[in-house]
Structure 1
Amino acid sequence: MLALFNEEQQMFESTAKRLAESIGITNPHDLNTNDRAHGWQMLTDVGLLGLRMRDNGVPLASGVEVMIAAQALGETLTPQPFISAVLAGELLALANAPDELIEELVAGETRYGLLLDRSFENLAAPDDADCIAWDTDGAHYALGLIQNQVVRISLAQGFEPAREVADLTRGLLHRRANTTPAETIGEPLSAEKIKRWLALTLVTVSADIVGAITAAQAGAVAYTRERVQYGALIGSFQAIQHLCAEMLVQAQAAHSINCYAAWGVDQLDADEALLAARTAKAYAASVALPVTEAVMQVYGGIGQTWEHIAHVYTRRAMVNARLFGDETYQLQRIADARLGAQ
């Protein structure tokens, strides 16, 4: 793989960042005032929801482009459900779902969340006890799996909003009643297709982590150039410099690891692609909370307040770290793969 983005990818990254800046969150007040419908329409208009549409069986965009978009949107804490839309579209495409379902998703007309088990580690079946629909802002359905078969369930009945959520930027619904039957979509997924979907999933979630911790670190560094304490800018204090440097190293390392995994989504065989994605997710998850907590330390007392953006970064990073398995979960699966465990 190339270590750097090509010219088209650089242009796409610039476009994605401009879009993210226009629809993202800059302070906790925006959580209530953000025009989410407008932001969703913008995501639709620029084609981000259709990145993984197929042309003669080949995705229009690679895992690298999905990573670029997810990282840009993570940097601005964008609340629109980009990740669930892209991953739902990939599931539908891999299952050879009817074209009209995919077209409705790409057009932004039908929205999907993802149905997860209580641990947040796996796609769930609709009849799983206490299953959770994640990233459900404006969603009509949630997609899950029943014995490798993609199913969708309406969110109109049997679900209710979670009373307390860690991530303030994404919708979360709890399943409370089995009132709506699940609808089978497309063909059963092969083991290879499930691995490829999971590889893309881990890369996309890791990219969101990288975006969040990168932006949080950059904001903290900017603050050190403004805040004066004991008659000097706090950025001149060695302890603060070390904190910021360590955060930068961790964020850039997570990005570098994820770049290879994103390339591998389409270029490596399914087992190697999943192994690379697990490695990226393990590292990104391991630094998500330490970096965002260090950011809050740099801000000092103001960073501990509800009115400051720091805790919103921390909350998003915490949930991302758990999604589809944290570092301990991923390292165990890596060990199983390397040691040949069944």
Structure 2
Amino acid sequence: MVLALLNDEQQMLREMMSSLAGSVSAGNPRDIGEIDRAKGWGALAGAGMLGLRVRDGSGAPTGSGVDAMIVAEALGGALAPLPYVGSAVLATELLALAGAPPDLLQRAADGTERHTVLLIPDLSGIATVAGLGTAIAFDCWGAGHALALSDGGPAPRLVRVPLGDAADRGPAADLTREIARFTAAPAAADAEEIGRPLEPADLSRWRALALTVIAADAVGAMRAALDGVVAYSKERVAYGTLIGSFQAIQHMCADALVHCEAASACVSYAAWAADEADPDEALLAAHTAKAYTAIASLDVAETVMQVYGGIGHTWEHVAHLYARRVLLDREVLGDAAHSLLSVADLRLGQRPRPEEG
């Protein structure tokens, strides 16, 4: 496996994002409502993070999949309540691949117009126009429009519909991200086709990047949760002894660290492959990363809860925010079983349907 080794610019990006993410981090549930999301979104836009997947004059994205991975991991670790994954990556990448008008993409990069992606009820794929009545808008804070596909055929068109008052918005199981459901299907006259038809390779590219950044978000949350509980174990005294000296605690945390490092390695390769490998290889790497991260993140979340003990099960503590974040990441665009089946199909040379790519 080829790992994405960060160059000097990417190292600087990681350091910068660590600082930026810290300014919008949630240390407990009360913080979520107090964070200035508009200011945080503006900071991401000012740093150029919202336009990473907008294409330049040569047709290449201005930022790589590795860059997007770095940003997603930092924001996931901070439990930042900003729709970077849903808007700046999933939605903007779809718009760019469909050849959306440059002015629309520029507004997305400036942070002045936000889109989200509509998913089918089990969150495993993009919704079509026929299924808008049951579609779910993922990570949709501040989004004015949502994106769906015209149909489930081999070359669907990208369709934009307004969210507006027709969507019932609210927090997801993950309190740091917002979802919306349509209370009534949008009128056909409100649906706007954008750009050119999306070929199977386009949808494979999109899904490969989408799976990768979702997994990167989970890796960030896993790492931060583990770092926090390790620090806690160095301070918490039980029976007159620091709990971090107990061998059982040490083994649990060591196993969790192995999961974090392995997940990071899988995501790192998938992030590189998203732009550099052919679509099928990129998709295989992304499904592999998503499957492993979905499994590992649950184990890490359980370990964190166990090491914290009773305090970790209280509403005021941060532990359940990490658990909620990774549990939602596990389901978006398919859980571990979904990705493992896709890996098997790709290994056997079978192409999934485009919307399931």
| TM band (smaller chain) | over 0.9
Listed as ranges, the matches of 1:172-187 within 5 Å are 172-180=179-187, 181-187=190-196
Q: SS of 2:175's equivalent?
A: coil
* CA distance, structure 1, for counterparts of residue 80 and residue 248 of structure 2: 32
Residue 46 of structure 1 deviates from its aligned partner by 0.6
Listed as ranges, the matches of 1:39-58 within 5 Å are 39-55=40-56, 56-58=58-60
Check conservation: 2:4, 2:66, Cα contact below 8 A.
no
Aligned residues: 341
Residue 44 of structure 1 deviates from its aligned partner by 0.9
Are 1:154 and 2:162 an aligned pair? yes
Q: SS of 1:29's equivalent?
A: helix
Residue 130 of structure 1 deviates from its aligned partner by 1.3
Deviating beyond 4 angstroms after TM superposition, the runs of 4 or more aligned structure 1 residues are none
Q: Deviations over 1:136-165 (max 9, x none)?
A: 111101111123211111011321125x73
Residue 294 of structure 1 deviates from its aligned partner by 1.1
Check conservation: 1:127, 1:178, Cα contact below 8 A.
no
Q: SS of 1:307's equivalent?
A: coil
2:39 maps to amino acid: H
**Residue equivalent to 1:138:** 142
Q: Which piece of structure 1 moves more, 139-148 or 10-19? A: 139-148
1:23 maps to amino acid: V
* CA distance, structure 2, for counterparts of residue 10 and residue 341 of structure 1: 38
Listed as ranges, the matches of 1:110-149 within 5 Å are 110-128=113-131, 129-147=133-151, 148-149=156-157
When residues 189 and 308 of structure 1 are mapped into structure 2, their CA distance, relative to the original with a 3 A threshold, is same
Residue 3 of structure 1 deviates from its aligned partner by 5.0
* CA distance, structure 2, for counterparts of residue 146 and residue 251 of structure 1: 38
* CA distance, structure 2, for counterparts of residue 2 and residue 299 of structure 1: 33
Are 1:281 and 2:290 an aligned pair? yes
Residue 225 of structure 1 deviates from its aligned partner by 0.4
* CA distance, structure 2, for counterparts of residue 214 and residue 122 of structure 1: 27
Q: Deviations over 1:235-282 (max 9, x none)?
A: 000111011001100011000011111100111101011001000000
Any gaps of 5 or more consecutive residues in structure 1? none
State the TM-score, normalized to the length of structure 1. Answer: 0.97
Residue 8 of structure 1 deviates from its aligned partner by 1.2
2:102 maps to amino acid: D
Q: Deviations over 1:206-246 (max 9, x none)?
A: 00000000000000000000000000000000111011001
Residue 2 of structure 1 deviates from its aligned partner by 5.6
Check conservation: 2:14, 2:74, Cα contact below 8 A.
yes
**Residue equivalent to 2:355:** none
Are 1:24 and 2:25 an aligned pair? yes
Check conservation: 1:283, 1:327, Cα contact below 8 A.
yes
When residues 43 and 251 of structure 1 are mapped into structure 2, their CA distance, relative to the original with a 3 A threshold, is same
When residues 94 and 156 of structure 1 are mapped into structure 2, their CA distance, relative to the original with a 3 A threshold, is same
Are 1:317 and 2:321 an aligned pair? no
Q: Percent identity?
A: 49
Check conservation: 1:157, 1:179, Cα contact below 8 A.
no
**Residue equivalent to 2:308:** 299
Q: SS of 1:121's equivalent?
A: coil
**Residue equivalent to 1:35:** 36
Residue 183 of structure 1 deviates from its aligned partner by 1.0
Q: SS of 2:269's equivalent?
A: helix
Check conservation: 2:50, 2:108, Cα contact below 8 A.
yes
Q: CA RMSD in A?
A: 1.2
Q: Deviations over 1:52-90 (max 9, x none)?
A: 121220111111111011001110011111112222111
* CA distance, structure 2, for counterparts of residue 253 and residue 130 of structure 1: 36
Q: Deviations over 1:70-126 (max 9, x none)?
A: 001110011111112222111111111111110111111111111000010001024
Q: SS of 2:164's equivalent?
A: coil
Check conservation: 1:126, 1:153, Cα contact below 8 A.
no
* CA distance, structure 2, for counterparts of residue 84 and residue 4 of structure 1: 26
1:119 maps to amino acid: D
* CA distance, structure 1, for counterparts of residue 176 and residue 117 of structure 2: 16
State the TM-score, normalized to the length of structure 2. Answer: 0.93
